[in-house]
A = this chain, B = another copy of it.
């Protein structure tokens, strides 16, 4: 027979786009740590340390950050709604958790949390998220624009699938990078168009630099489809000024770029004089409406609340025609629906206990403890870096990251150059 028999799958014959992307947070260093851990298990005392602490990902609960009681109580009740009918539940759950869980369960058609939901998530929970955004921004948000997702990563991958047609499609994305973006762009067949953040300007975003990168990409034949902005910054920890956000929005509008606003650190702010403003809010304040600019905002329960492993998030999709949103929905439906526990959690994050609610005091106290612990650690690290010889570092304004600079001695540079 003359057929080419298909070879078995090898690392050489898998999808080449899979081979070429890197995702360092789950890459070689992690694998080495796992090997060391196995060695320690198999042969205790063989290594000069007793424990490996994984810091490859922002993963605060694994490093001791406690969860918020209200979140977990509501989740626990929703997982097992028969508890809501039992008097004994009052001994274990606060009245406001019971009330909230009952409201959630009653908003689900089957009065339970086991069934598939709409691909975008349960409608009432999307409404809660939309109301939370409206309250945050002072501009209306609609449930129909909300897609609940298995964390922000799933949403970002989904958008890349929608936007990227071939390697001739480019996505503007910041350097220093959060490697999910380059990975996702490459995996989905596109080209990352990197732009540099300016370290000397507190990791600010300079429009002339982005414009330069856009023009270079276009000269090279790329169609640039979207611009990723991460605010507060990952891994650079800056919080953009409103003026800067306005420039970016004007730029995206003028250039016809979809704005992908990674806003997952919106609750993680440390600088006294900085506030979080969503790109959609700034756009609406500028008078840009849905016809002027397409904005997708990503958020999740991972970074602000540490509920990373729950995989709960949303994206708010504005300025897209209905037939495009239908297509987004179709891709979302390939995994049928986001997980329900994650859906519930993001609804709680966007509608937390308010002043006057029974559970407000505890909730606020727990949240403030987390916040001040982050602040303290940020200051400690800032101080440590700035006291080290040959290291300088911008202040941490938001997110979970500091990005220090190493100043190599000129002799070392000369030695390297001579090789």
A→B interface (CB under 8 Å): 3-11, 13-16, 18-19, 21, 23, 25-27, 31, 57, 59-64, 67, 69, 72-73, 75-77, 79-80, 82-83, 86, 88-89, 91-92, 109-110, 112-117, 119, 150-151, 153-154, 157, 161-165, 180, 183-184, 187, 189, 215, 218-219, 223-225, 255-258, 294, 302, 306-311, 319-321, 323-324, 326-327, 329-331, 333-342
Q: Do A339 and B321 touch across chains, with their CB atoms under 8 A apart?
A: no
Q: Do B335 and A114 touch across chains, with their CB atoms under 8 A apart?
A: no
Pairs A–B under 8 Å by Cβ, sample size 9? A3-B219, A11-B326, A15-B163, A76-B77, A79-B341, A113-B310, A115-B309, A116-B308, A309-B340
Give the Cβ gap from A336 to chain B, nearest Cβ, in Å: 6
Give A62 to B115 CA distance when docked, in angstroms: 5
Q: Do B342 and A339 touch across chains, with their CB atoms under 8 A apart?
A: yes
Copy total for this chain: 2
Which residue in chain B gives the minimum CB-CB distance to A291? Answer: B8
Give the Cβ gap from A399 to chain B, nearest Cβ, in Å: 16
Give A59 to B113 CA distance when docked, in angstroms: 12
Of B6, B25, B307, the contact of A257 (CB 8 Å cutoff): B6
Give the Cβ gap from A115 to chain B, nearest Cβ, in Å: 4
Give A180 to B333 CA distance when docked, in angstroms: 9
Q: Assuming A5-B256, A112-B61, is B164 touching A15 (CB within 8 A)?
A: yes
Which residue in chain B gives the minimum CB-CB distance to A329? Answer: B26
Give the Cβ gap from A52 to chain B, nearest Cβ, in Å: 10
What residues on B are CB-neighbors of A335 within 8 Å?
A: 150-151, 153-154, 157, 311
Which residue in chain B gives the minimum CB-CB distance to A72? Answer: B80
What residues on B are CB-neighbors of A306 within 8 Å?
A: 114-115
What residues on B are CB-neighbors of A115 within 8 Å?
A: 59-62, 306, 308-309
Q: Do A223 and B88 touch across chains, with their CB atoms under 8 A apart?
A: no
Which residue in chain B gives the minimum CB-CB distance to A54? Answer: B109
Q: Do A86 and B76 touch across chains, with their CB atoms under 8 A apart?
A: no
What residues on B are CB-neighbors of A83 within 8 Å?
A: 76, 92
Q: Do B336 and A153 touch across chains, with their CB atoms under 8 A apart?
A: yes
Give the Cβ gap from A142 to chain B, nearest Cβ, in Å: 14
Q: Do A320 and B9 touch across chains, with their CB atoms under 8 A apart?
A: yes
Give the Cβ gap from A16 to chain B, nearest Cβ, in Å: 6
Give the Cβ gap from A170 to chain B, nearest Cβ, in Å: 9
What residues on B are CB-neighbors of A92 within 8 Å?
A: 83, 86, 88-89, 92
Q: Do A116 and B309 touch across chains, with their CB atoms under 8 A apart?
A: yes
Q: Assuming A59-B116, A62-B116, A336-B151, is B187 touching A331 (CB within 8 A)?
A: yes
The 5 closest A-B pairs by CB, nearest first: A26-B333, A62-B115, A76-B80, A61-B114, A11-B323
